[in-house]
């Protein structure tokens, strides 16, 4: 049953995404930046989805340390992996935009650096998991590391306020210049990305739980 | 009060063990010297340029050399199951952590204070222009380095590839602190006092120290006991 729901949701997410690409492509060009401005429809939702993933991973890690329930550990890994993929997409789209507008692929300003560091931290989280064999220890240490890693996330979000960055200021709220009728397209894409992330996370979560079940069965077989 | 006496006892024990064997501090200092030497002949720069990049050079040396000290911090307790004895001792994990962090702080700071004049002599760069502010940045940056290094030294002590995992996990976390320390050090070596343009970095450094010390103290029990 859950499988069918996941299939339906996944197809829905992809359908919305394809429809969005079609409609966004037909929007007029932005006056100053031209066609490449439209990358914002993907760049920003990916960032937001990745940040939500980081937040969920933090909550799951804390809950694991409090309850020692391995479901939360599985949730933390699943959501971290998906978040890492979205953050990678965010960094790549940002880099392409930078090449067009700034003329360079990368600038070492606070926002770009902190986002890259964030990516490295969560990649380190996955590597740490690989280095530990014993499941309880792995889950505990990974949860502790995830809490440490999350402290970088507010820095990523507020870096454009705290420092003067090359990265543009947000254009959506508080006097932003984003055209209101484009906001609908933006929100639809946000929904598509979030839905896609949720589906990927659920699939990964089920794999993780199946893996744990397999491991425990294997241990039981060895004990016998 | 008892808490601080326990912290002191752990720190004194670590420092005594270190000063008797000198294994970590000698290795760390020799390593710092080698990197400084390599920098000097890798980049044959005019004095002004060296001054501009001094913060970056120095903190890379400090971070690398510091890792050698921090790697030993908990690994030293592995032979004869000393770590289990320490954990079983009637002191809190926080006291054990803070004691070890304090001992590491003294050792890393000692390596840094010796490296600084060596850097100054090799590169013909005076570091005394804003001496006390530089010492403040050194103290704050090193505390950040030590706190993160000590907690991750405890975390990685029993896992595979310990020596590789420690720097791989700590350096990304340290980036905000290192960036602040590098920016401030470069400015101070060039003779510019901390002002409106780089005050944000000082705040960042202090915030980093406070936040990570607090989080480490909360989580250390979980790391040590599991």
What is the model's pLDDT at position A93? 92
How distant is the Cα of B137 from the closest Cα of chain A, in angstroms?
20
Is residue A31 predicted with pLDDT exceeding 90? no
Read off the pLDDT of each residue in B64-92 and give the average, rounded to a whole number: 89
Q: Does position A128 have pLDDT exceeding 70, yes or no?
A: yes
What is the pLDDT confidence band of residue A26, given thresholds at 50, 70 and 90?
Answer: confident
Mean pLDDT of the B94-118 span: 94
pLDDT, tens digit, for every residue of B132-182? Answer: 999 999 999 999 999 999 999 999 988 888 888 899 999 999 998 998 999
Whether residue A34 lies within 8 A of chain B, CB to CB, comes out as no
Would you place residue B47 in the very low, low, confident or very high pLDDT band (cuts 50, 70, 90)?
A: confident
For residue A17, give the CATH number of its domain: 1.20.120
Tell which of B53, B175, B208, B210 to mutate to test the A interface (max A CBs under 10 Å): B175
Average pLDDT, whole number, for chain B?
90
Distance from CA of B219 to the nearest CA of A (A): 7
- By percentage, how much of chain A surpasses pLDDT 90? 48
Q: Specify the range with the lowest mean pLDDT, choosing from A80-89, A120-129, B143-152, B184-193.
A: B184-193
Interface of A with B in 54-73 (CB under 8 A): 65
Integer Cα distance of A39 and A96 in angstroms: 9
Share of chain B above pLDDT 70, in %: 100
**What pLDDT does residue A55 have?**
95
Question: Which of B151, B152, B156, B176 to mutate to test binding with chain A, by most A CBs within 10 Å of its CB?
Answer: B176
| pLDDT attached to residue A177 | 65
pLDDT (average), residues B202-223? 92
Mean pLDDT of chain A: 87
The pLDDT value recorded for residue A159 is 78
Are the beta carbons of B223 and A141 separated by less than 8 Å?
yes
The size of the A-B interface in CB pairs under 8 A is 59
CB within 8 A of B36, min separation 6: which ones? B57, B61, B115, B118, B119, B122
Give burial (CB, 10 Å; 0-12/13-18/19+) of B71. Answer: buried
Determine contact: B165 vs chain A, CB below 8 A.
yes
Q: Residue B43: pLDDT band by 50, 70, 90 thresholds?
A: confident
Q: With beta carbons under 8 A apart, name residues in chain A contacting B144.
A: none
**Minimum-distance CB partner of A131 among B161, B175, B219:** B161
pLDDT for res A154: 85
What's the pLDDT at A90?
93
Are B169 and A145 in contact by the 8 Å Cβ rule? The answer is yes
Q: Is B159 on the interface with A (CB under 8 A)?
A: yes
Which of A35-39, A92-96, A126-130 has the lowest average pLDDT? A35-39
The number of folded domains in chain A is: 1
User: Which of A120, A124, A147 is facing B219, going by the closest CB pair?
Assistant: A147
pLDDT for A175? 55
Q: Inter-axis angle of helices B199-225 and B162-189, to 10 degrees?
A: 160
B206 touches chain A (CB under 8 A): no
pLDDT at residue B225 is higher than 80:
yes
Quick one: pLDDT at residue A166? Answer: 75
Count Cβ atoms below 10 Å from residue A102 Cβ, excluding itself.
12
- How many helices (H) does chain B have, and how many strands (E)? 8, 0
Q: What is the pLDDT of residues A161-195, one digit of tens each?
A: 777 777 877 766 555 667 777 788 888 888 999 99
What pLDDT sits at residue B194? Answer: 82
* B179 interface with A at CB cutoff 8 Å: yes
In this prediction, residue B190 carries a pLDDT of 85
Task: Specify the pLDDT at position A148.
Answer: 92
Q: Smallest Cβ distance to A151: which of B160, B204, B211?
A: B211
Which of A13-17, A69-73, A124-128, B43-47 is predicted with the least confidence, judged by mean pLDDT? B43-47
CB contact under 8 A, B169 and A145: yes
Contact between chains at A124 and B169 (C-beta distance less than 8 A): yes
Q: Which of A140-144, B147-151, B157-161, B204-208 has the lowest mean pLDDT?
A: B157-161
Task: Compare CB distances from A148 to B173, B175, B179 and report the shortest one's residue.
Answer: B173
* Contact flag B172-A132 (C-beta cutoff 8 Å): no
Give the separation between CA B121 and CA B101, rounded to whole angstroms.
30
Q: Which residues of B touch A151 (CB under 8 A)?
A: 173, 211-212, 215
* pLDDT for res B189: 87
Give the model's pLDDT for residue A172.
67
The answer to whether A125 touches A149, Cβ cutoff 8 Å, is yes
Concatenate the DSSP letters of all residues of chain A into one string: -HHHHHHHHHHHHHHHHHHHHHHHHTSPPBTTTBGGGGGHHHHHHHHHHHHHHHHHHHHHHHHHHHH--HHHHHHHHHHHHHHHHHHHHHHHHHHHHHHHHTSSS----HHHHHHHHHHHHHHHHHHHHHH--SHHHHHHHHHHHHHHHHTHHHHHHHHHHHS--SSPPPSSSSS----HHHHHHHHHHHHHHHHHHHHHHHHHHHHHHHHHHHHHHHHHHHH-
Average pLDDT of the segment spanning A131-147: 91
Candidates A132, A152, A163; nearest CB to B200: A163
Q: What is the mean pLDDT of residues A97-107?
A: 86
Region of poorest pLDDT, from A119-123, A132-136, B160-164: B160-164
Name the residue range of residue A147's domain.
Answer: 2-223
Percent of chain A with pLDDT strictly greater than 70: 96
d(CA B51, CA B126): 9
> Which chain A residues are within 8 Å of B157, Cβ to Cβ?
none
* Type and span of the H or E element at B168: helix B162-189
């Amino acid at each position: 049953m859950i499988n069918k729901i996941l299939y339906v949701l996944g197809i829905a997410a992809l359908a919305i995404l394809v429809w969005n690409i079609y409609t966004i492509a037909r929007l007029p060009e932005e006056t100053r930046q031209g066609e490449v401005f439209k990358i914002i429809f993907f760049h920003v939702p990916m960032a937001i989805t990745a940040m939500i993933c980081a937040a969920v991973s933090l909550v799951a890690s804390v809950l694991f340390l409090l309850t020692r329930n391995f479901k939360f550990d599985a949730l933390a890994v699943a959501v971290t992996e998906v978040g890492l993929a979205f953050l990678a997409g965010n960094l790549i789209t940002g880099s392409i935009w930078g090449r067009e507008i700034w003329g360079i692929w990368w600038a070492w300003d606070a926002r770009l650096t902190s986002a890259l560091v964030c990516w490295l931290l969560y990649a380190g989280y996955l590597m740490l998991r690989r280095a530990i064999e014993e499941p309880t220890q792995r889950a505990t240490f990974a949860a502790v590391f995830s809490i440490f890693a999350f402290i970088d996330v507010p820095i990523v979000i507020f870096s454009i306020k705290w420092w003067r960055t090359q990265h543009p200021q947000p254009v959506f709220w508080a006097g932003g210049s984003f055209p209101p009728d484009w906001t609908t397209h933006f929100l639809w894409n946000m929904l598509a990305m979030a839905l896609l992330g949720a589906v990927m996370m659920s699939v990964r979560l089920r794999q993780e739980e199946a893996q744990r079940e397999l491991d425990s069965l294997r241990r039981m077989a060895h004990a016998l | 009060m008892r808490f601080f006496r326990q912290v002191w006892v752990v720190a004194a024990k670590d420092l005594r063990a270190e000063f008797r064997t000198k294994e970590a501090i000698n290795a760390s200092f020799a390593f710092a010297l080698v990197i400084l030497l390599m920098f000097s002949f890798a980049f044959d720069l005019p004095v002004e340029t060296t001054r501009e990049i001094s913060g970056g050079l120095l903190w890379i040396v400090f971070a690398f050399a510091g890792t050698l000290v921090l790697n030993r911090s908990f690994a030293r307790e592995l032979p004869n199951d000393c770590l289990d004895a320490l954990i079983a001792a009637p002191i809190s994990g926080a006291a054990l952590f803070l004691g070890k962090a304090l001992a590491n702080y003294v050792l890393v700071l000692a390596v840094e204070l010796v490296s600084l004049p060596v850097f100054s002599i090799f590169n013909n760069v005076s570091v005394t222009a804003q001496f006390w502010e530089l010492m403040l940045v050194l103290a704050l940056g090193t505390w950040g380095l030590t706190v993160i290094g000590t907690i991750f030294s405890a975390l990685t002590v029993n896992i595979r590839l310990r020596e590789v995992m420690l720097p791989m996990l700590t350096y990304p976390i340290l980036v905000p602190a290192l960036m602040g320390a590098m920016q401030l050090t470069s400015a101070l070596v060039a003779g510019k006092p901390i002002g409106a343009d780089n005050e944000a970095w000082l705040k960042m450094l202090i915030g980093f120290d406070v936040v990570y010390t607090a989080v480490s103290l909360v989580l250390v029990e979980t790391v040590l006991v599991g």
